[in-house]
Amino acid sequence: MLLIDCPYCGERPELEFVYGGQAHIARPAQSAELSAQQWSDYLYRRDNTRGPHAERWRHTHGCGRFFNALRDTTSDHFLATYRLGETPPRAPDESAS
Amino acid sequence: MQPFSGLSLLKRGLTGQRGWTAQWRHPEPKSAYDAIIIGGGGHGLGAAYYLASEHRFGSVAVLEKGWIGGGNTGRNTTIIRSNYLFDESAALYDHAVKLWESLSQTLNYNVMFSQRGVLMLAHSVHDVQVSKRHVHANRAAGVDNEWLTPEEAQAFCPPLNIGDIRYPVLGAALQRRGGTARHDAVAWGYARAADALGVDIIENCAVTGILRNADGSVAGVETTRGPISARRVGVAAAGHSSVVMKMAGVELPLESYPLQALVSEPVKPVFPCVVMSNTIHAYISQSDKGELVIGAGTDAYTSYTQRGGLHISSHALEAVCELFPMFRRLRMLRNWGGIVDVTPDRSPIIAKTPVPGLYVNCGWGTGGFKATPGAAHVFAWTIARDEPHPINAPFTLERFRDGNLIDEAAAAAVAH
């Protein structure tokens, strides 16, 4: 089980959280003007990154708030967690981590 | 190829099992092939076999970054069934079941396909309604599936506890043609048969890039063992499909999750069939070695780690112990994870891609093993003829753009 550092509550077990998928996907403002391909990309296409992955979590059984995390999907190691609206921290160099 | 027969087994058995030869070659990669398959699991090896046997498609190579069958082919819980809801899926998976039925003879290799029946339990009114809908849809599509009362389910699987549990068994759907097969033998059987037809199986050869011609079409692949040119490339890389396809600039609607399984210590034959429970989430069968083979769920988050959280497998074991109290004192021997690539509609993609000469077979999520021969067969057709077989024609990449989803969210039998 992962230990996740909620930016509001601190470190808590994974069971308190719900995963929210890839982060920083903005809903297009003018969705009616999108082509079918653009709409499909928004709905379905995901980076599925192998390596540092920016993703959403919600501390459902805690403060209830959404936040973002940078996690290495090759090790499940959390590189950082940060609040909504903040820019994602740069992934540290693989050799340094 | 050294053919297997009762006589050859007897002869070798009487002479100390000496004289068996390697079942496939370990060739050095050539500089060029007519077709390259990326991924040496059952789907990739099978596609190479059908390219060579049915389509006589010139020279074919399978590139595997590790060892063959070491990915999801060797990590699944070996369940085979075809009782999917939609006509398109039922046709695809039943195509596979029909090929499973003669696969040992086709390959001259015993894949130990055992049609012992797959029992899918219902624990709530909603489960009962959904299961019955599946049964009716399957029967209309010509796929066997039948509804059992709790007592009939217990008669079919005597260890099953139907009453004294938190979520009592309210009935079950039974597909008698479903069952299990030995997953390693599927990879080895296809490898041996493909090798005998001249397919080069190249292990420890990871693809690092996809080479393109000036017109955008596929020119070959870059690998850890040097560049190899090919006019057609088929990708059957399971959980790493996104990674491989990005090398060609093709973005896929996939997310990769760890899926866990575990086996118990071996015991005498005690379990007659396959039992699956979507609601309390466990599936279980007994291998011919005697181990109970138990499937757990996927982790909540995407990952490439080939392991998962212990609480996920604990949850499956709690469900198993509740359904089958006689297993409560059994010890677990091993657990592991595989990386499964999940599509938004939980149906696979077996299709041409925007890159001419590049084909993909991916998105099988938690249920790719059962489809191995069928998927390999239609994938080989798609590569050889540059057009889909009628069975995989609906399973395109474009269906996500055009809205023609094949929404089998319930079909994977995993609470997503």
Render pLDDT for B363-393 as a digit per residue (tens, 0 to 9).
999 999 999 999 999 999 999 999 999 999 9
The arithmetic mean of pLDDT across residues B246-261, rounded, is 96
Chain A hits for B403, Cβ within 8 Å:
36
The arithmetic mean of pLDDT across residues B249-272, rounded, is 96
Q: Write the pLDDT tens digit of every residue in A63-91.
A: 999 999 999 999 999 999 999 989 888 86
Judge contact between B335 and B260, C-beta under 8 A: yes
- Position B212 confidence tier, pLDDT thresholds 50, 70, 90: very high
What's the gap between Cα B224 and its chain centre?
27
Q: Can you give the pTM of this predicted structure?
A: 0.95
Q: Do A45 and B301 touch (CB under 8 A)?
A: no
Q: Above 80 in pLDDT, residue B414?
A: no
The arithmetic mean of pLDDT across residues B315-332, rounded, is 96
Residue recorded with tokens 């798609």 = B382
The arithmetic mean of pLDDT across residues B316-323, rounded, is 96
Q: Above 60 in pLDDT, residue B412?
A: no
The arithmetic mean of pLDDT across residues B193-222, rounded, is 97
Q: Above 80 in pLDDT, residue A94?
A: no
Q: Write the pLDDT tens digit of every residue in B8-27.
A: 889 999 999 988 889 999 99
Q: Above 50 in pLDDT, residue B416?
A: no
Q: CB B159: neighbour CB atoms within 10 A?
A: 15
Q: How far is B310 from chain A (nearest CA, A)?
A: 6
Chain A hits for B309, Cβ within 8 Å:
1-2, 14
- pLDDT at residue A93, rounded to an integer: 60
**Backbone dihedral region of B327: left (phi > 0), alpha (psi from -120 to 50 degrees) or beta?**
alpha
Q: Write the pLDDT tens digit of every residue in A33-63.
A: 999 999 999 999 999 999 999 999 999 999 9
- pLDDT at residue B309, rounded to an integer: 92
Least confident of B70-84, B102-116, B187-201, B397-411: B397-411
Separation between Cα atoms, residue B97 and residue B17, nearest integer Å? 33
Burial (CB count <10 Å: 0-12, 13-18, 19+), residue A30: exposed
Q: What average pLDDT does chain B have? A: 95
Q: For residues B160-196, b (16+ Cβ closer than 10 Å) or e, as one string?
A: bebeeeebebbbbbbbebbbbbbbbbbbbbbbbbbbb
- Position B415 confidence tier, pLDDT thresholds 50, 70, 90: very low
- CB-side neighbour CA atoms (13 Å) of B203: 13
Q: Write the pLDDT tens digit of every residue in B156-187.
A: 999 999 988 999 999 999 999 999 999 999 99
- Proportion of chain B above pLDDT 90, given as a percent: 92
Chain B hits for A18, Cβ within 8 Å:
300
Nearest CB neighbour to B254, from listed A1, A48, A74: A48
Planar angle of CA A88, A92, A94, nearest 5 degrees: 135
Count residue pairs from A and B with Cβ separation < 8 A.
60
B interface test, pick of A38, A42, A44, A58 with most B CB neighbours within 10 Å: A44
